[in-house]
A and B are shown apart, each in its own frame.
Chain A
Amino acid sequence: MAPREARALNATAAGWLAKQQRDDFTRADREELERWLQADPANAVAYARAEHAWQRAERLRAVPTTVRRGFSIPRFPSVRAVAAVFLAVVALAASLWWGALRPEIYASGVGERRTVALEDGSHIDLNTASRIEVDYADDRRTVHLTSGEALFDVAKDSRPFIVEGGGAVVRAVGTQFNVRLRGQVVEVTVAEGIVAVGEEHYTRAQDAAPAPSQVAAGSAAVIGPGAVTKITLEEEVVRRRLAWREGVIELKGETLDQAVAEFNRYRSAKLLIADPRIASIRVGGRFKVNEAEKFLGAVQAGFAVRLVEGGDGTVYLLAQE
């Protein structure tokens, strides 16, 4: 085939792919496409190549920020969003009515993410399966994180903003930080400003307490029983820890074990590593939190791992014999 001919064929194939994206792609169009595909294997090859590229490009969907730079257009609000706004208005009216009803409780379900706007202009993003109690008083703003993970975007105010959870206390004025309850320890990551962190019982009993540790932007602290450990993080790591706000899990050399635990936070049907030999495989990539299937596909493609689905939806990861 002459180069010019080959180029024309590729353009025609790409044209078919684009045309198929139209809402008004009709049955007649489809039949015409099929006739074209059957007319010459070279047509089918050109079309398959374009479709293959289209399918490969799907992976880009897991990367909202870097690629989408400024190209977003607002979506029409969905029925669900309208309903949510309606419910929020009702809830607000109710809380105004009940004035003294405190604390306010906000929670997210498994796989859900939500943003809570507070009266002082602060925002709290709740990650999957998380729960907070907001207790604002005249002299302090207190939020209890009782489960999960939350990102606090704190508006400046004369009152300190205090997050308590998992035995840790984080105190801030105006700043942005993430708090994640991780079993025995609490992980605090600071994106902006400075916060003071400490253990709850010390901070409460102000006399004998050791001075709380200061944690600045780009750093993190792990608060465990009897110890506060501070770590300086690369910008990249801070970004990755906050990627959940875009609904993304970013992996870079985590073990399969850790990666699976990360996806499981968003799933009710869990993934389970049923073979310790594969638990320490290192994985990388950027995935949407609700697209564990893609992650599993990539794992299967890259490693000798096979999947077995249990009756209850649990997916078992096994070594391929």
Chain B
Amino acid sequence: MHDLLARLAWFKSVILPHEPALRRQVRRLAAPGVDHEDVISEALTRAYSASDWSRIDRGRGYLFTIARNLLFDAARRRSIVSFHQFADLETLDVPDGAPSVETIVSAEDELRRLQEVVDQLPPQCRRVFLLRRVEERSLQEIAVALGLSVSTVEKHLAKAMELLTQALAERDPVIPASTAPLWRRAKHGR
């Protein structure tokens, strides 16, 4: 159980911040006919399943290498790889040294992104989500305030989270690619 939680924590802090960048790159580079979503979710699942996860602290390079291999395989299977595409696929292998421009996001940008995304939720979902996440009301309190049952409140919250997860996966988080996340500092005592 402890392993599961540790792996989840690692995955969230080391891998997931790079999902938006991964999505952009895969969409840009996938050969025609290759299903982007398939490659993205397969890359994430393989990254999650890494046996030596605790030694991986540069998520971007790791994730992108997996994605590149998947794209190669997919292209090879369809035997439609051009020179040009091979060259492009090489560019997927972004080193973890300096953060790429696209991932430098200020706290303010992040806030604006979050607000945009939240503003697009259906009204009732948004209300429930904000009351829970921002105002930290219990589902019970929210149910009373909005005149709904607790299970309806829960359903609205679930819907809000589903939509938010999808929308935020397209938007870079505030943590740039180069930064060693907190768990690593804790681990190596740095």
A residues engaging B (CB < 8 A)? 1, 3, 6, 10-11, 13-15, 17-19, 21-23, 34, 37-38, 41-42, 44-45, 47-64, 66-68, 71-73, 252, 283-287, 295, 297-298, 300-302
Contacts and interface: CB of A to CB of B under 8 A. Distances in A.
A300 B157 CA distance: 32
7 contacts: A41-B45, A49-B44, A56-B110, A60-B133, A252-B108, A285-B111, A286-B107
A60 B12 contact: no
Given A17-B161, A60-B130, A298 B135 contact: no
Given A18-B157, A48-B8, A59-B107, A71 B174 contact: no
A18 B37 contact: no
Interface residues of B, number: 59
A1 B114 contact: no
B101 interface: no
A11 B174 contact: no
A73 B137 contact: yes
Given A1-B38, A6-B37, A41-B45, A23 B12 contact: no
Contacts of A51: 8, 12
Given A10-B165, A284-B106, A302-B106, 4 more contacts: A18-B161, A19-B158, A22-B139, A57-B133
Contact of A67 (B115, B137, B164, B182): B115
B48 A45 contact: yes
Interface string B156-186: 0111011011101100011110010010000
A231 to B, nearest CB: 23
A50 B165 contact: yes
A53 B130 CA distance: 14
Nearest to A37: B4
Given A14-B159, A44-B48, A49-B19, A285 B107 contact: yes
A59 B133 CA distance: 10
B64 interface: no
Interface in B6-64: 7-8, 11-12, 16, 19, 37-38, 41, 44-45, 48-49
Contacts of A50: 161-162, 165
Given A18-B161, A284-B106, A53 B4 contact: no
A67 B130 contact: yes
B89 interface: no
B150 interface: yes
Given A45-B45, A51-B12, A284 B133 contact: no
B71 interface: no
Contacts of B162: 10-11, 13-14, 50
Contacts of A44: 4, 7-8, 11, 48
A27 to B, nearest CB: 12
